[in-house]
Amino acid sequence: MSIIKSYHQKLTPCLWFDNNAWDAVTFYTTVFNNVEKGKITYYGEGMPLPKGTVLTIEFLIEGQEFLALNGGPNFKFTEAVSFMINCETQDQIDYYWEKLTADGGEEGQCGWLKDKFGLSWQVYPTIMAEMVADSDSKKVSRVMQRMMTMKKLDIKALEEAYSGTPDVIKT
């Protein structure tokens, strides 16, 4: 029986992997605390991948349903789609950044990264949404300018830019 209750979510992201969907889902279970694997289907005779190869895996991350598909090498992930991890603290940002860039993941700019499977993530401090929505355009500009100098986002440095602390644009 599937842990995912017959697709109760209206939209479920389907993540296309070459042939390593199982490895990816297993990896995500080590990164996130609230992860569950669900129903697994397999390729049969005469299908694009060898019989017995995992076809799909249903899984949940923090209550969000996903489907991992072993579809072959036809398609790759791009930055056009990413998953945002909302973080309350710098410790959370540091944790997800370290875990998701490990073993071949890549750091990007402005809180973006790719994990070792090529999937894009944004590791984002929740306070940032408040700062960039401020009616004071100078505060917003300082925060955005500071963010543009970062790879992994630094909450303290963003807060300093927001408050106008002198010399906030550091290299």
pLDDT tens per residue across span 79-128: 999 999 999 999 999 999 999 999 999 999 999 999 999 999 999 999 99
If you count them, how many residues does the chain have?
171
Domain 14-70 has CATH 3.30.720.100: yes
If you write DSSP's letter for every residue of 36-77 in order, what string do you get?
Answer: EEEEEEE--TTSSS-TTSEEEEEEEETTEEEEEEE--TT---
pLDDT of residue 168: 47
Quote the crossing angle between the two packed helices 137-147 and 155-163, to the nearest 10°.
Answer: 150
CB 117 within 8 A of CB 78: no
Q: What is the mean pLDDT of residues 121-144?
A: 96
pLDDT grade for 146, boundaries at 50, 70 and 90: very high
Residue 35 DSSP class: E
Q: Percent of the chain scored above 70 by pLDDT?
A: 92
Conformational region of residue 160, where left means phi above 0, alpha means psi within -120 to 50, and beta covers everything else: alpha
Q: Domain extents for the chain?
A: 14-70, 82-163
Domain 82-163 has CATH 3.40.1410.10: no
Which of 57, 55, 77 has the alpha carbon at shortest distance from 67?
57
Q: Percent of the chain scored above 90 by pLDDT?
A: 89
Residues with Cβ within 8 Å of residue 21, at least 6 apart in sequence: 15, 54, 56, 57, 68, 69, 70
pLDDT grade for 10, boundaries at 50, 70 and 90: confident
pLDDT of residue 163: 95
pLDDT grade for 1, boundaries at 50, 70 and 90: very low
pTM, 2 dp: 0.89
